[in-house]
A and B are shown apart, each in its own frame.
Chain A
């Protein structure tokens, strides 16, 4: 049967050919796959988000910080309070002392080792710091800074890289035990596990068990999308085999530790155990205890299903299951397991992991713009050291969160009507220590501190008065101003007739009083006298970068600024006329700690010191007897503060800008729909500002005048020289050579007094 033989031969050849083709196809497929696997695994494996740190707490003898205040700082940093020290990141509270074992940290100027420290307190201050190992006293010690955020790609993948040798050994052990028992033996696929899973799934009639190895899971996350098809399953299996053939088990395990998805924080996806530890426990991975490690291991199976913040009971059940497996396998003693099971989940915070201060991080990103490419920030793992002071930030947030409902109740608004923004900065350094962009400080929405440009109202006045005080031959603090009705023809033909807040003219008033009481009419007269252009130049010199329309209405603040811009111009006044650009960043380094950019202190004198000193004196009067006198309802009278209220038309915006000896703070309260907030600066923003300054325990303003200023006893009735003969006298600063020369009639040394004495005789 030649035909059947040839037919058989034909079929055989066809089969051989088909098999060869298939083999060639498979080989090509494998070669391509292999290249993909190696390329992807060899290079930079992840986009590493830049990490953003708060300013570190500097501890030194004399620092205003109580023992309990320090304990709060440690808790915020995720340090654990224990009966005795147990590894880095732990502390012990004693009667007037706190012992701690600090974390090692790579600062911009070098590494700092893990150090045992003893901090002794005396009342509200740090009394002494000692290195507990050497017993040596220490002049200064820097704590590791708080991680406050990261800058990740638009995909939202965030992670903190860890190395296998740095993680607690329980973690890889637990992962292998729970996720892939035969990890050490298999070549990427665990055939027995697949079979077992298939049987279990078949018996259950649904997928109850997965047979994926750690390698397969890594491949799935790393190379493939999440569709569930047979083609993808096959790809996954081959890639797992290829990965195993090229790389050691340790490398695969380390990649897995950094890749695995562990939860969601809004738009941000939490990847890897390094970030997982921060996100769930607010501390570095190497400080996790068994029950915490077990929870992270438990989460791998289903981060949203076992989300410990949303489903604590579920999460605890699975965590305890993992603890049981660890004990069974001998990684935990029965006692350790018992202790760990008895512990609560111990998850930090209600929602936030490290994304705590979105409005401030927004400012950081803006200041980095133009210096770094977007990709550098999201891929290179840069370390960004910022100026944020978490204590100041949280105080500001608290004042806003508590203040607004109180104001709403007082004005019978429904809750949520009012909005607010606030900024606190250091005076001499211009460092932004706190920034709130809205009443929900955790919400990364419209950042009012930077983007809400609102009319500043009376906040403009000090710059009118400063312009006048810069002409000491014409103006001093006691120059009498006219507070009388005025009508002005505007360029487009309309008439402008400003009014005082109380609708009354006050006649002749001394300059400082007109400012302290925020009289509009006197200010307009003064502004017209010094000129619109001169006032505009002063505002620019103080640091306002925007355009200013040269209209007289600008004297009363028909000029829109953001709270940030207000902080800048008032900061220059607070710093004696030295302009310091507001900064949110101190330094940027590579992930290894090599310095990339430093944002040093930069000061420049742009306004004359002696005139600014006079203005500051007048702004102190604002809080003493002027529109902000309710300040001292909150703040102890020994603390000298200066500032200015700002109110706009129809009470739409309520502002307060003010400062102490060490800090400047600006608060705005208003409504997003620009409807009247029904609040003056004093009734609204000041009621947040004053308790804020109280809570921050700010330093008093330095009262010593510069050499070009002399303080002279002045008769408040007429601005002439006073002496012991006068019943009321006020110490007023003047630019030297420009103090009044003539004695008031009340003065002993006055010729009038002398004449009167003669006549009396």
Chain B
């Protein structure tokens, strides 16, 4: 499947969505400049745009692009998360970030561990970082949007959570095609 088709579907979905989306409060930090070209919802995350790459070119799992050291740290962190020790998982994943700082799967796992550790703010920013590094990989983005939705909900930003969840659902539907 060509990504341009997927992106087209997303763009349509996005424009319908824009009407009903509640404006997300911008974090109170004067040192932030909202992206100039972005839809109201988006916060530093690429909007759905035509992409020429074949969807099958995108890696779907961490194992496909990570070195053995990072894979072993990801496994260790997964074990800690399953064992209810997300704080330890965060430390292990930060170790992994030092080894492969531009690996979007690692940032995604970090976001999830932060969320389980009841820290929604770093969870959301880590997921956004993962989105930025994903370079349009829909398999990574869909999970990041789910995490962002949960993080926003945990913070009490229900409007923002809804927008993120819808973004995740669109990507999901498009990937199912």
Contact = CB atoms under 8 A, between A and B. Distances in A.
Interface stretch (B14-22, B87-95, B152-160, B164-172): B87-95
A109 interface: yes
Contact of A541 (B33, B37, B98): B33
B32 interface: yes
Interface in B45-86: 46-47, 49-51, 67-69, 71-73
B101 interface: yes
Contacts of A600: 90-91, 94, 122
Contacts of B98: 58, 426, 429, 431
Shortest 7 CB-CB contacts between residues of A and residues of B: A605-B44, A60-B69, A608-B35, A428-B101, A139-B72, A707-B136, A707-B46
A428 B94 CA distance: 11
Given A60-B99, A428-B101, A139 B71 contact: yes
Nearest to A706: B46
A61 B68 contact: yes
Contacts of B69: 58, 60-62, 139-140
B36 A470 contact: yes
A604 B101 contact: no
Nearest to B43: A605
B49 A736 contact: yes
A587 B132 CA distance: 27
Given A58-B98, A140-B72, A702-B102, A537 B125 contact: no
Given A428-B97, A704-B135, A604 B67 contact: no
A735 B72 CA distance: 38
Contact of A578 (B29, B50, B73, B129): B129
Which of B31, B47, B73, B128 has its CB near the most chain A CB atoms (within 10 A)?
Answer: B31
From B51, B88, B132, residue with most partner A Cβ within 10 Å:
B132
Contact of A579 (B31, B36, B90): B31
A482 interface: no
B38 interface: yes
Interface in A657-715: 661-662, 702, 704-708
Interface of A: 58, 60-62, 108-109, 139-140, 426-429, 431, 470-472, 537-538, 540-541, 543, 576-579, 586-587, 598, 600-611, 661-662, 702, 704-708, 735-738
Given A109-B88, A605-B128, A540 B30 contact: yes
A472 B36 contact: yes
Contacts of A429: 94, 97-98, 101
B163 interface: no
B37 A608 contact: yes
Contacts of A578: 44, 125, 128-129, 132
A577 B34 CA distance: 11
Contacts of B43: 605
9 contacts: A140-B68, A541-B31, A541-B32, A578-B128, A605-B125, A608-B38, A608-B44, A735-B37, A738-B37
B155 to A, nearest CB: 14
B161 interface: no
Contacts of A470: 33, 35-36
Nearest to A579: B31
* Chain A contact surface mostly: loop
Contact of A603 (B36, B51, B99, B126): B126
Nearest to B34: A608
B36 A611 contact: yes
Contacts of B71: 139
B102 A605 contact: no
B149 interface: no
B147 interface: no
Nearest to A601: B94
Contacts of A603: 125-126, 129
Given A586-B94, A604-B32, 5 more contacts: A140-B73, A587-B91, A600-B94, A609-B132, A708-B49
B110 interface: yes
A708 B37 contact: yes
Contacts of B31: 540-541, 543, 579, 606
Given A139-B72, A578-B129, A706-B135, A58 B95 contact: yes
A115 to B, nearest CB: 16
A606 B126 contact: no
Nearest to A604: B125
B126 A109 contact: no
Contacts of A735: 37
B127 to A, nearest CB: 11
B37 A472 contact: yes
A62 B67 CA distance: 8
A667 B25 CA distance: 39
A617 to B, nearest CB: 15
Contact of B101 (A61, A139, A426): A426
B132 A576 contact: yes
A58 B30 CA distance: 38
Nearest to A142: B95
Contacts of A540: 30-31
Q: Which of B49, B88, B110 has the most CB of A within 10 A?
A: B49
A426 B101 CA distance: 9
A60 B38 CA distance: 40
Contacts of B68: 60-62, 139-140
B132 to A, nearest CB: 6
Nearest to A598: B91
A320 to B, nearest CB: 47
Contact of A606 (B32, B73, B99): B32
